[in-house]
Amino acid sequence: MNNIKIIRLAGKNSYDFGYAIGKETAREIKALLEKTEYIHDCSKTEANEAYVEFKEMAQKLYPTYFEELQGMAMGAGVDFDLLLKLNIPELDMFITDQDKVGYDDCTTLVRAARGRVQVLHNEDGGSDDGIYLFEGALPSGLQVVCVAYYGYLLGFAANLTARGIFYNCNSLKCKFQRLGIPKRFVTRDALESMSYADFLKRITVKGRAQAQNYIFVEKGKAYDIETSSRGYYAREVKGNFAHANNFLFRDMLKYEGRSHRGVGTFLRSSFARSEVKKVADFSDMKKILSSHVNRPSCVCAHGRDVGDINLTLGVIYFDSEIPDSFLLGYGPTCEAEMKKYGIVP
Ligand SMILES: [Zn+2]
């Protein structure tokens, strides 16, 4: 396994920040745009009309993140609208058969006991996705270290900020997805949070299009938040807990947009939630997230080459007793070597 690419930046305005990332990741962005089918199929009237609305909403509410993407497109030498469509995965609902079983993303384990929080998160994507590590300052000046996806805004995989905040995301599919604020912009905004209360306000912004799950850690406390396009449920995590890519909480089950219960996240989630009960330390957690039980719906996934639904791109470990860094293993968890990355002062 090669080492993960690391991008370090500081002191840029929004456009130049995006430009620098785009320039350093041009090859990966071009390859991804070529392979992502739905972004080339937005000529269908309904999808095109939806794109115009999504675009307007994102630009109006988050002009600086919009500028980051404009810079990224220019830096990578790609068409801006294609890159923006990549950052609006909600568009896929207007194009692709919604009943298909596609990749369905990540699994997170949490252990919260006696003022200490440990989080182990498998970052799973599709077989064409790739991750890199961002270390440095955002245009706002905030120092962060983020596991980021090529071609996307920062903020939706796993993130640590100089404000003592760690969070990661798990995708959820909402039955009532709608035209609204694209979720990649919401998660980018979450990265700027001042506190848990501020984070909650940002991720529940009115008018959001899609659902999302978050595991958030601050001051030795962990929180699990499920959002849909309309509602949300937030609670402090106490004890051992696991979340994947389906709604878990009673009041949120009505929003579940995934229907194939015998495959994918439903199997991963029930396996992880059952196994996490007996977790006592990091090695127990890593063993669970390295598992190939229920293949091809396994927690540690090796992509389409072996017939798995997902591809585990990396594994992230955060321990609130070491609050200024996390460990990252690049590649599927069963073979990943964990290395430390932290906030650079
Ligand atoms: Zn594996």
Average of per-residue pLDDT values in the chain: 94
Query: What distance in angstroms lies between residue 334's CA and the mean position of ligand 1's atoms?
Result: 4
124 close to 156: Cβ distance less than 8 angstroms = no
Q: How far apart are CA 212 and CA 210, in angstroms?
A: 7
The answer, yes or no, to whether residue 99 has pLDDT greater than 60, is no
Asked whether residue 311 is assigned to any structural domain, the reply reads yes
| Domain boundary pick from 72, 94, 116 | 94
Q: What is the CATH number of the domain that holds 127?
A: 3.60.60.10
The answer, yes or no, to whether residue 97 has pLDDT greater than 80, is no
Q: 296-331 in b/e burial notation, b at 16+ Cβ within 10 A?
A: bbbbbbbbeeeebbbbbbbbbbbbbeebebbbbbbb
Same domain, 228 and 331: yes
Q: What is the CATH number of the domain that holds 23?
A: 1.10.10
What mean pLDDT is predicted for residues 296-320? Answer: 95
Same domain, 22 and 112: no
Query: What distance in angstroms lies between residue 110's CA and the mean position of ligand 1's atoms?
Result: 20
Q: Total structural domains in the chain?
A: 2
Same domain, 186 and 69: no
Query: What distance in angstroms lies between residue 246's CA and the mean position of ligand 1's atoms?
Result: 22
Same domain, 241 and 125: yes
Query: What distance in angstroms lies between residue 41's CA and the mean position of ligand 1's atoms?
Result: 33
Same domain, 153 and 291: yes
Asked whether residue 1 is assigned to any structural domain, the reply reads no
Task: Provide CB contacts within 8 A for 100, sequence distance 6+.
Answer: none
| Domain boundary pick from 94, 125, 142 | 94
98 band by pLDDT with thresholds 50, 70 and 90:
low
pTM of the predicted protein model: 0.96
pLDDT tens-digit map of 147-165: 999 999 999 999 999 999 9
The answer, yes or no, to whether residue 170 has pLDDT greater than 80, is yes
What mean pLDDT is predicted for residues 279-295? Answer: 96
Same domain, 75 and 139: no
| Domain boundary pick from 67, 94, 121 | 94
The answer, yes or no, to whether residue 255 has pLDDT greater than 70, is yes
What's the Cα-to-Cα distance from 117 to each of 128, 280, 308, rounded to whole Å? 32, 12, 31
Same domain, 129 and 84: no
Same domain, 75 and 111: no
Same domain, 27 and 160: no
Domain of 204, in residue numbers: 107-342
